[in-house]
Structure formats: C-alpha cells, structure tokens
Structure 1
Amino acid sequence: MSTATGQRTFDSLDPATGSVVGTHPVQDARAVRAAVAEAEHAARWWAGLGWAERRRRLLDYKAVVTQNLSRIAEVVHRETGKPEADATLEVILAVTHIDWAARNARRVLGPRRVRPGLVGANLAATLEYLPLGVVGVIGPWNYPVFTPMGSIAYALAAGNAVVFKPSELTPGTGVLLAELFAESVPEQPVFRTVTGLGETGAALAGDPGVKKIAFTGSTATAKRVMTACAANLTPMVAECGGKDALIVDADADVRAAADAALWGAMSNAGQTCVGVERVYVVDAVYDAFMRELTERAATIRAGEDYGPITMPAQLDVIRRHIADAVARGRAVVGGPESVRAPYVDPVIVEDVPEDSPAVREETFGPTVTVKRVADAEEALEKANAGAYGLAGTIFSGNARRAVELARRMRTGMTAINSVISFASVPSLPFGGLGDSGFGRIHGADGLREFARPKGISRQRFALPGMNLTSFARGQKELDQVVRLVTFLHGRRKR
C-alpha cells in the first residue's frame, strides 16, 4: 500500500529475476464502476463517429502500436520473461488483427438488405449489427498483447468502448496498450485499463454497465467469471485452456512434423493455450519421428530458447504431471530434474497412459507426451477423448485425408502441416468447445461477437386483400395465403 495516498498497490515482477518491473494500483469495485461509467459515455461518442472515422482512428492506432513495437515488446519481455524476439512476434500478430478488424468491420456489420421471401414481397428487409456499449476484457498473462487484442480490436471496430483488466502478472503491458490508444483517440476514454487482482476482474464482470465480458484464462476461473456475469445476465465469450493434440499420419513429412511438435510444445515455455501437449504418431513412422524429435529437443535450452515459467504456482502442476508421466511411462528427454525454478527444461515422455494427468489435464509447461498408435483413426479417437476442445494439428501427405481428419477433430481450430498457423489468419475465428470455452474472437465471427443483430422490415406497399395482421382479415385472405404456401412448400422432395 502506498503510504502517501493510502491506495493499495501491487508489483509486477520479472519472473526470471524477481525484480520489480512496475507498481500499479489495486482498483476496487468503486474505481471499476467509475471507469465503466466514463466508458459508457465514451461508447456513445465512439459509436456516433461512424464506420469511416472509427476505421481511420483504429488504423492510426495500428500505426502507433507498430511505431512502439520494440517498447511494447520490452515490457512484455520483462513482465513475462519470454525472449524479446517472441514478444516482438506477438505484437506483430496483434497489429495484423487491429488492421483486419478496422478494415472489415463495416463490411461484416454494416446494414445490408436481405430477401423478405415471396410472402413478404411487399416488404424491404434490412439487417445490421449495432454496438453493445461497454465491453469488459479480462486478459491473460501468457500472451498479454496478442490474446486480449483479439477481443479489444474487434470490440472497438464494432463500435464499443472497452475496459480492459489485464492479468496481475502483466499489468504494465495493459496500461501501455491503453496509453498508446489515447494518442489516436484523445477525446474520450474509449479504451482504458483497470489494474488489480481477482477482485478487480470480479467487479468488472459484475458491473451492470458492462454489456459483454471477453475472458481468457483457466476453465475454473471462467466459471467464477460466469457466476459474476449471471447477476446481470451479462453474456460472455470464454477462451479457456486446452490440451491440444498433434497427429502424425503414416505419410507425413516426419522432419517437419517433429520440428512443429517441438516448437508447439516448447515455445513460450509451453505456456500457450493452443500449444502442443499430446502427440499421436502412426506406428509406421513412430521410430523415425522420435529420432527427429529427441535430436532436435537436445539442442533446446530453457533461459535461451524460451523463458521462465511466468506464474510460480504453475511449477507445482508441472512437477506433478512430470512425476506421474515418468512413473507410468518412459522419459526420453528430461524428467523431474528438468524443473529448476523458475525454468523448466524440455521434457518428452512416451507411452504415458491416457488417464494420466499429463494427458488429461492442461500442463502449461515445456512438456509433451508421445504415443504410438496403429493408424490415424486411433489417433483421432484419442485426440477427441479429452474434455478440452481448443485446437489441434494434423500432419499428413494426403491433403484430402488431412482435411477430413481436421474436420472431425473435436476442436475450434485445426492446423494442417503447420502448427498454430490459424492464429495468424485474422479472418479465421478463434475459440473452442467443451472445457475450452465458447464464443469466438477474430474474423467476422469475432466482430459479430461484440455486436447485436438488428432486423428492420419496412412495408413498401400494401397488398390488396392480403392484410393478414388486422382484425379486419377475412377467411378469403387466409385461404389465399394457405394456397400460396401450399404451392410453394407443400410438394415433397423425392
């Protein structure tokens, strides 16, 4: 607590060194209410600017973010511990999403005519998507720019104001993103950040002025956020955890598959919701794949190729999963000794039973289990058996078969012969099912997620003798409509 002001504060720490990166206020429910109230006024102003002006402002914000790319990456690096190169790539991806949302909002959400049908031939029908008002975004720490921007940029492009509560581990990143936005939109607090701990996020989710919550985090926390939202029937989009699988088919490029599996499992110290945590390899290429994977893994070093475990409590989960996997399977790279806080060296374990926590629960560390299967059908069955359903990967030399497997994989996104590539395509929706959450960010679906559909029908002229919505309607009018409907819809297809 600050002795000068009495304001409660908290520190963000460099997870690699424990040094203080920044000190931020713990904003309570009253402060959150004030922020939302200001955002409500700003939302009306922002919506009133219209499509063209919002597009111009958002594209300007994109330029400001790009100009400050190294500055943002430095803050991300210090707060998460990830290498600056990885932080830079994260910001670049966020920039592409700001650009797409700004350029496509009007096309996706703007007014358009829809066919009224023959029965409504005298009507003009239009559909458009209107802003919700204030959107609350509760962001994660593992990708503190890219992930929340998938909600922030799309909500702003849809005409909403945003109140952003970043993770308590990465508050400085969230504060900086809002400060940079103010350079492009100085008139109103259209995008602002509130900092704090869990109580701050709960206050945001429970504030009656918030019209939608976009949450990214664990499944358990998502359920608590939903409880807070329920008080006001506030809808939410939830992007939760994952236990993503990579399938290697018999005709796959083994070297490419091993390279992708290693990066998908180990990059960002495995702290990626769509990272690879399970690999299922068809028997015909299993030995060749494992040789490639283990040889490549031997060259990877924690603290050099990826950073520390950002959240200290996660180390206990990682230790537990490794210990159980090694006891019940066979470690081929690393083991319990790989955990040397705050770092974890790569761990690869094969033949781990499917009921092991390392296979069923999200590890969120640089570990991966590998299992030999008879064919791709068995691999798909095992991949689909878990409670999560976020993303996955297929490696196959047969494009048609790969697409079939991808379509049947019980996930929101699937990459073929690449890993996590869907995240770099702004026009693709991002989200999962099951314990991985619901709703979508990114793409046209992401824009619609932060808007409400509005249908308008206008009578262009009256149909003689066909006023069905009147107490003056007679049997003759009804009989005419019955004949018309029977003609149009009464013939069975053979």
Structure 2
Amino acid sequence: MTDTGTHRRTPSTATFTSRDPATGRPLAEHPVHGPEDVARAVERGRAAGVRWAALPAARRRAHLLSWKRLLASELDAVAASVAAETGKPLQDAELEMLLTLEHLSWAARNAGRVLRGRRVRTGLPASNQSASVVHRPLGVVGVIGPWNYPVYTPMGSIGYALAAGNAVVFKPSEYTPGTGVLLARLFERAVPGFAGLFTVVTGAAGTGAALAASGVDKLAFTGSPGTARKVMEVCARSLTPFLAECGGKDAVLVTADADLDAAADAIVWGALGNAGQTCAGVERVYAVRAVHARLCDRVVERARALRPGTGPDAAYGPLTMPGQGDVVRRHVDAALAAGAGAPLGGTDAPGSADPAEPSGGPFVAPVVLVDVPEDCPAMTEETFGPTVAINAVADVDEAVRRTNASRYALGAAVFCGSRREGAAIASRLRAGAVSVNSVLGFAAVPALPFGGSGDSGFGRIHGAEGLRAFTAPQSVTVRRFAPPVDLTSFATPSAAKARAVALTRWLHTRR
C-alpha cells in the first residue's frame, strides 16, 4: 500500500493517476477514497449483504455464474486492462483470466454443498439433544488486493466471500485501480438489483487503512509482511479477523533421478514469468550435487533466450513497482560479493548489463546465480524479480533442511523420477502448497486451499477451506426429550447427579 501515484486535490476530492509501468504514460484518473467514502461503501454493502445472504444458495450460484459468463465474454477487455496496468504480456493476462474463471465457477457451484448445515453426534451426556453446525456469512468482507495478479489473486477472496453469502468492499492496488473498477462494473451488469454488494474503493495506503478501520467483518490482505503487520495492527483495535497472504521465497528441490529438461523448463517459467513478480514463484533451487551442473546449463540455456520488453516477442514485461529494480540489484550484488557465481547476468559477468536496468527503464534481464551463501538476501528475502539462485546440496535431506530454514512457507516444488518419492519429499516440506514435477500446479486446482505460514501469512483462500474462511460456524442444539437425569437443573437431587457422574466415570475408565 505504498502511496507512489501522482495525486492532486480539487475542492471536492483528491485523485491519482495510474500509469503504464513500461513507459510512465498516464492511463486514467481515479479518486482517492477517504474514511468517509469507505464507511459509506461498507454501510451500503451491509444493507445489500442482508438481502444477498437471505437468498437460497442456488440463487447466489446463478448470479455468480452470470458474472462468470460476463467476465468470460469480456475477457479481452479485462485482460487488456491487466496488461496495461501491470505491463505483463497480454497472453499472461489472458492466462490469469482463465484461472480466475475456473475459481469463480468452482466457488459458485460448490458453496451450497460445502457450507450447508450438517448433523453431528452428541455423545452420551447430551443424548437427548440433536446437534448441527451451520456456516453463517460474516457480513461485509474487506479485500486489499495486489498489483502483480490484480484479478486472480483478489478474486480468491472476492469470489469465495460472495459465494459464501457476504458483501465485499475491494481496494485494488494503487498500481492497478482500473482493473478493480472494471470488475465491479461488470458485476453490476451481471447481478442487477444488488447495488453496493460488491464495491471498489481506490487509493493508496490511506484508503487501505480506512478499510481496515471501517468495521468490516473480516479483512483479506495480500502484500508484503511489513505492510501486513501495519494493517493487522489497525484490525486489532476492533478485533477484526484478518487473513494474510504475504509472499514467499519458494524453493524447487531436484533429485538425482529427476527429468532435468522438465525441471529446467519449469524453473525458468516459475522464476521469470511475470518478471519474477509472483508470490509463489521460484526463487531458490536446491539440486543434488550429481545433477547440479547439468541442471544449471539447461536453465541458463533457456533463460538466455528470453527477452523482457513490450513487443509481441517479449517473454515478460517490466517491473511494475518503481524501486523494485533497486531490490534486485542489491540482492544480486550482495550474492556476488559473497562469492556466488553468475552464469547468466550479474554485474561482474563479462559483457553483461546491469541486472536492474539492462536496457534502461524498468526492464530486467534474466539473472541466474549459483553457489549463493544461504545467509545472503538472495536466499532469505523475497526478490520479486527475474532472478533465480541454484545451489548444490549433498542429498535430499539437505535440500529439505535448507528449504524449511526460510522464514517464508508458501509454496514449493519437487522434481523427482518417482512420483511416490516426490510426494513423500513434499510431505516433509514446511510449505502451504507443493507441486511434484511441475511448478505452481496447485494454482490451477480450485478445490485446493492456498496460503502459507511464517512470513508468508496465515489463513487460506480457495477450496472448501477458502469458502469456510468467510463464514462463522454456528452450533445449534435442539432438545428432543427430557433427560433421565438433568445435570443442568437445580431441581435434580444431588444423589441422582452423583449416580450419573459415577456411571459416566465408570464408562470412560473402560473405553
């Protein structure tokens, strides 16, 4: 929620300018919504949410599928907005839209099944009661979204929260406000009669803080750990529940019997796709020493063929956020100063360009590092650029130890000749999601929960867990008949209570 846009104040409101990150060209003007604007959005959402929650699950499903179909029809327009505001290639924006449609469809179609009430066993002391659990909508969910995947990532909260019966107030990143506004506009077209159910407020840090303090019933945040802590402090003042997805330092483990061509192809895509600006992208690789050199050769060969830019032949676009090039430069320079090698890129590689600005402006050429000390920022901090560090390890046990030593724990991948052994290695990793013989495979499966721990945040989106995350479980008991001995009545004789206690104690000593 860094306030870096161009702002101006008029007598009635303040605005900021969204820009093309590749050229700096102005794209559009958007209002800076303050606390009063946010409060009104939450109030409208609460009124609309009552009517939305009262609908049968099948009606909500029909409305959300109408929105899904409209998003599919308008895919070109939404993808063009994503590409313009982030700088990513149009095909990458289209892929983001395809994943979004899959998730929205799953949430809409499965919410009724996942969230319907269920009967539970009562046990002997409450055998005269029937018991059930229902999942009630929270009310109004606030969502603070990121700029790197401005549709797919926030929709993991928006779509699931709406499917669970809530209203949503969404603050998109100040770098991608137009995409958020377009999503809300299409929702209004697809779901008429529910004005205020899904509202977008625009602005930077101040708007996000206002949303956190607005009295929403839960706040879902995606961003850096530092910003998450600040937002969480605001939520703590009102005990507003908080869900945080804060990025990662994801590792790939490569065993001696792995398919090295498949591993190299996946590593390059996972590390360099979207200019490396992916929370669950590949930043570290641990390869068993016997295959390390061959894997590095394959990664370098593939990465060298990629070119950043804005043309149709560009593999990826610019760094979206100003100043991110400085982070990339710092991580690469520190690794090289500590003795790492750079078979591709790096400021000390013969004939190489500055890794932070290889062609001027925000474009970053691929950087492959090897033998990076584990305490370097390139191994401990999220780089969020088109770089990857590939280190050799003695065996899988060492790879697991190094992977789990990170303070991040979001995603990971394992490349192994045996799928069964790959799954066994995955079970040893401290990561919220793991792919075997692919990277980011879990992102395309809507039924799987997504989230991490440590500096990667907490809570889950997607899947059944993601739907339940935007509800409050309510326990209900119904007395069916009077018990033989009522232990919750002053009228029951003490001797009868004593016999009931003795009987229960006797049963539990023998079970």
Distance, in Å, in 2 between the alignment partners of 1:76 and 1:392 is 26
Q: 1:313 to 1:2 in 2, by over 3 A?
A: closer
Match of 2:355 in 1: 338
Q: Determine the C-alpha separation between the residues in 1 that align with 2:470 and 2:460.
A: 10
Please state how far the C-alpha of 1:172 moved relative to its aligned partner: 0.2
**1:29-428 → structure 2 map (5 Å cutoff):** 29-187=35-193, 188-208=195-215, 210-303=216-309, 304-328=314-338, 329-336=340-347, 337-340=354-357, 341-428=361-448
Structure 1 counterpart of 2:488, one-letter code: T
Equivalent residue of 2:388, what SS?
A: strand
Alignment coverage as a number of residue pairs: 490
Runs of 4+ in structure 1 deviating by more than 3 angstroms, as ranges, are 1-6
TM-score normalised by structure 1 residue count:
0.97
Q: Which residue of 1 aligns with 2:4?
A: none
Give per-residue Cα distances to partners, 1:39-84, cap 9 Å, x unaligned: 1111111111221111110011110110110100000000000000
SS in 2 for 1:310: coil
* Counterpart Cα distance in 1 of 2:417 and 2:448: 24
Task: Give 1:485 shift.
Answer: 2.5
* 2:230 maps to amino acid: R
Q: Distance in 1 between matches of 2:500 and 2:213?
A: 49
Alpha-carbon distance in 2 for matches of 1:196, 1:172:
11
Q: CA deviation at 1:321?
A: 0.5
Kindly state the Cα deviation for residue 481 of structure 1 after the two structures are TM-superposed. Answer: 2.8
For residue 449 of structure 1, what is the aligned residue in structure 2? 469
Does the aligned pair in 1 maintain the 2:344–2:367 contact within 8 Å?
A: yes
Shift of residue 450, structure 1, vs aligned partner: 0.4
Query: Whole-Å Cα distance in 2 between the matches of residues 141 and 345 of structure 1?
Result: 21
Tell me the distance in 2 between the aligned counterparts of 1:480 and 1:421: 59
Structure 1 pair 488/20, CA: closer, same or farther in 2 (3 Å)? Answer: farther
The alpha carbon displacement at 1:119 in A equals 2.6
1:271 CA drift (Å): 0.1
Stretch moving more, 131-140 or 114-123? 114-123
Q: Quick one: distance in 2 between partners of 1:3 and 1:283?
A: 59
Deviates more, 1:146-155 or 1:40-49: 40-49
CA distance in 2, matches of 1:305, 1:454: 49
State how 1:454-493 maps to structure 2 within 5 Å: 454-464=474-484, 466-491=485-510
List gaps (5 residues or longer) in structure 2: 1-6, 348-353
State the 1:480 CA deviation. Answer: 3.9
Unaligned runs of 5+ in 1: none
Amino acid aligned to 2:86: T
SS in 1 for 2:127: coil
Q: Secondary structure at the match of 1:195?
A: coil
Deviation track 1:64-112 (CA, whole Å, cap 9, x = no partner) reads: 1101101000000000000000000001101111111111111111111
Q: Aligned partners of 1:480, 1:268: CA distance in 2, in Å?
A: 70
Shift of residue 404, structure 1, vs aligned partner:
1.8
Q: How far has the Cα of 1:322 moved from its partner?
A: 1.1
Instruction: Check the 8 A contact 2:66/2:191 in 1, yes or no.
Output: no
User: How far did 1:331 drift?
Assistant: 0.4
Letter in 1 for 2:341: R
Give the Å deviation of 1:146: 0.1
Matched to 1:343, the amino acid is: F
Cα RMSD (Å)? 1.3
| 1:5–1:74 distance in 2 versus 1, CA, 3 Å | farther
Distance in 1 separating the partners of 2:146 and 2:120: 39
* Structure 2 Cα separation of the partners of residues 169 and 349 of structure 1: 30
Give the whole-Å Cα distance in 1 for the aligned partners of 2:451 and 2:246: 8
Contact 2:9 2:15 (8 Å CA) reproduced: no
Equivalent residues of 2:328, 2:355 under 8 A apart: no
- The percent of aligned pairs where both chains have the same amino acid is 54
User: Would you say the 8 A contact 2:252–2:415 is kept in 1?
Assistant: yes
Partner SS state of residue 427, structure 2: helix
Q: Secondary structure at the match of 2:122?
A: coil
